[in-house]
Amino acid sequence: MSTYQPQYRKVNVATSELEMRDAPKARPAQPKRSWAWLGVVPFFLFTFLFLLYPSSTIVTRSFRELGKGAFTIDNIITLFKTPYILNSYWISIKISLITAIGGALFGFLLAYAAIRGGLPTFVRVSLLTFCGVASNFAGVPLAFAFIALLSPAGMLINWIKLTGYNPYFHGFTLYTMTGLSLVYMYFQFPLMVLIIAPAIDGLRREWMEASQNLGANSAQYWRYVAFPILLPSLLGTTILLFGNAFGAIATAQALTGGSINLVTILIGSELSGDVLGNQGVGYALALGMVVIMALAITGYTVLQRRTERWLR
């Protein structure tokens, strides 16, 4: 190493002598300009025109007075002062919460039963395949499938009626919140199974054996080992399911013909018929959804990162 040092110095001296002898430098040292960024311009241009700009108008126009363009928070205040708007958020949140928690519980049970229940492997493989299909089978066809099953003349209702009991005489309907929640579960719990399955796979058998060696019973293993490890993943996925239901519209629209007061349906009717009578409030309504979704997705991401620590 040390033998090279003087040589470098010699070279340096040589160049500076050269510079001194020669006329002024022809080209001053210039950072090489790179045009590589041009390659991503189409992507940014496209997403700006068809995603970022239209989405950002929802934010900006929520805070703008109609026609005049002056800043205002009246639109936001109107959201909180109009009972049926508040109600629509409330119903959307309630349905999303119920189906997220219900879907998470049942999905977890299913995934756990298939993976760790001591069942043959084909159960696990077919469950995951079914879930892949079911989590994608939504919207109009799904609504109709449940109409065929649970409408007043549906197959299952006809069977139950044979016993002399008609659920429709005892408060059950497919077309309100209870029924809609039941339908939403069809795409909620499969999503839970798909996302939670790797987390359950990550529960090592050694952990259970170790806890057994230390004298823990099954309840203690769950309380102190498995549950704390799975908790972030369970919570995170529940939040994701919440967002999944919260943004849904097609299923509810097809099932109830728009008679159920969800935020998404309200935005839909505002878009086709200006039902709110004030465009600014329509933007604010949409903004509220984006805020809730953003919170949900952020929560999911944070919790998912915490789980990954254990799943290597």
Residues 123-182 that bind another protein (CB under 8 A): 123, 127, 129-130, 132-149, 154-156
Given the structure tokens 């929640």, which residue do they identify?
A: 181
SS3 173: coil
Supply the minimum distance, in Å, between the C-beta of residue 103 and another protein.
Answer: 11
Decide: is 40 part of the binding site for another protein (CB under 8 A): yes
Supply the minimum distance, in Å, between the C-beta of residue 74 and another protein.
Answer: 19
Which of the residues 271 through 300 are near another protein (CB under 8 A)? 271-272, 279, 282-283, 286, 289-290, 293-294, 297
Our CB check for another protein shows the closer of 189 and 230 to be 189
Distance separating alpha carbons of residues 83 and 270, to the nearest angstrom = 16
Tell me which of 264, 276, 280, 307 binds another protein, using CB under 8 A: 264
3-state helix vs strand vs coil in the chain, percent to 5 = 75, 0, 25
Decide: is 96 part of the binding site for another protein (CB under 8 A): no
Stretch that binds another protein, among 15-23, 45-53, 62-70, 303-311 (CB under 8 A): 45-53
For 163, the token pair is 């016993």
Total number of residues that touch another protein (CB under 8 A): 85
Rounding to the nearest 10 degrees, give the CA dihedral for residues 259, 263, 266, 272.
-120
Tell me which of 12, 16, 19, 54 binds another protein, using CB under 8 A: 54
For 154, the token pair is 């549906």
Our CB check for another protein shows the closer of 229 and 246 to be 246
Distances (CA, A) of 2 to 5, 9, 10, 13: 5, 12, 14, 18
Decide: is 228 part of the binding site for another protein (CB under 8 A): no
Distance separating alpha carbons of residues 151 and 173, to the nearest angstrom = 8
Decide: is 52 part of the binding site for another protein (CB under 8 A): yes
Asked if residues 256 and 245 have their Cβ atoms less than 8 Å apart, the reply is no
Stretch that binds another protein, among 6-14, 54-62, 74-82, 229-237 (CB under 8 A): 54-62
Decide: is 88 part of the binding site for another protein (CB under 8 A): no
Distance separating alpha carbons of residues 303 and 192, to the nearest angstrom = 15
Tell me which of 180, 267, 281, 303 binds another protein, using CB under 8 A: 267
Contacts of 196 (CB under 8 A, 6+ apart): 107, 108, 111, 230, 233, 234, 237
Distance separating alpha carbons of residues 224 and 222, to the nearest angstrom = 6
Supply the minimum distance, in Å, between the C-beta of residue 286 and another protein.
Answer: 5
SS3 253: helix
Tell me which of 245, 276, 281, 303 binds another protein, using CB under 8 A: 245
Supply the minimum distance, in Å, between the C-beta of residue 18 and another protein.
Answer: 34
Decide: is 121 part of the binding site for another protein (CB under 8 A): no
How far from the centroid of its chain's Cα atoms is residue 300's Cα?
8
Supply the minimum distance, in Å, between the C-beta of residue 285 and another protein.
Answer: 9
